[in-house]
Amino acid sequence: MSNRITAPNTLLIFALVVALAPLLGGCVPLVFGGAAVGATLVAQERPVSTAISDTTIQAGIDKRLLESNVDIFKKVDISVVEGRVLLTGLVPEPQNRLDAARIAWQPDGVKEVINEIEVVDRSSLSDAARDTWITTKLRSKITFDDKISGINYTIDTVNQRIYLLGIARSQKELDRVIAYARDIDYVRGVVPYVRVK
């Protein structure tokens, strides 16, 4: 079966992405970003149907976490690739970490939950800015390297530790991404949860 997308299929993907908007309640950016999300789904290594399923899973986790605890929702980052859920972030209580993992298992289609949430928010505004800078720097490096399909990687940085989730086209490509990550100033570690295709 080919993953080649025609104009009618692209419109179908767009319609499906927009249809997911109600799952997020008031999260309007999904609707406005629908076209961009549809284009991203088409370009990734995973089949479009899997990418749509992952988007549905993430929307379900977002909705449940938001309904459960708005403060924790703001502190937890969620990435989903092939039904594998990566949770990162900083929370003040151990129970928050457990609750987030429990909620992540609830949507249909979840195959694995990787809980890398750290307890006790030791970070300052400058730490958060540094984490954002690290993520941006790595995203830039892999985006402009023609030997890496950067769209297949999700990058989360927490307390200068980089978490990678996604699909590598080869071990050589993954090694290249990890080397870039390790070469960035202030990085304390790289934790790859990447499947090699």
Angle between the N-to-C axes of helices 7-19 and 48-68, in degrees from 0 to 180, rounded to the nearest 10: 10
Percentage of residues in the chain with pLDDT exceeding 70? 76
State pLDDT tens for residues 5-18: 444 444 445 455 55
Alpha helices in the chain (DSSP H): 7-19, 29-32, 34-43, 48-68, 70-75, 94-104, 125-143, 171-182
Which pTM was predicted? 0.65
Average pLDDT for 97-105: 94
Structure letter (DSSP) for residue 197: -
Residue 19: predicted pLDDT: 53
Residue 171: predicted pLDDT: 97
Average pLDDT for 37-55: 74
Please report which helix (H) or strand (E) contains residue 116, including its range. strand 112-119
Strand partners, 81: 84
Same fold, 7-119 and 125-196: no
22 C-beta neighbours (distance < 10 Å), count: 12
Residue 120 binned pLDDT confidence (cut-offs 50, 70, 90): confident
Distinct helix (H) and strand (E) counts, the chain: 8, 6
Average pLDDT for 18-39: 48
Residue 167 makes CB contacts below 8 A (sequence gap 6+) with 44, 45, 46, 81, 82, 152, 194, 195, 196, 197
Residue 42 binned pLDDT confidence (cut-offs 50, 70, 90): low
Distance CA 190, CA 186 (A): 12
Distance CA 103, CA 22 (A): 19
User: What CATH number labels 125-196?
Assistant: 3.30.1340
User: What CATH number labels 7-119?
Assistant: 3.30.300
Q: Which residue type is seen at 189?
A: G
- For residue 60 the two structure tokens come to 């379900």
Output 3 or 175, whichever has higher pLDDT. 175
What are the extents of the domains in the chain? 7-119, 125-196
- Mean per-residue pLDDT of the chain: 83
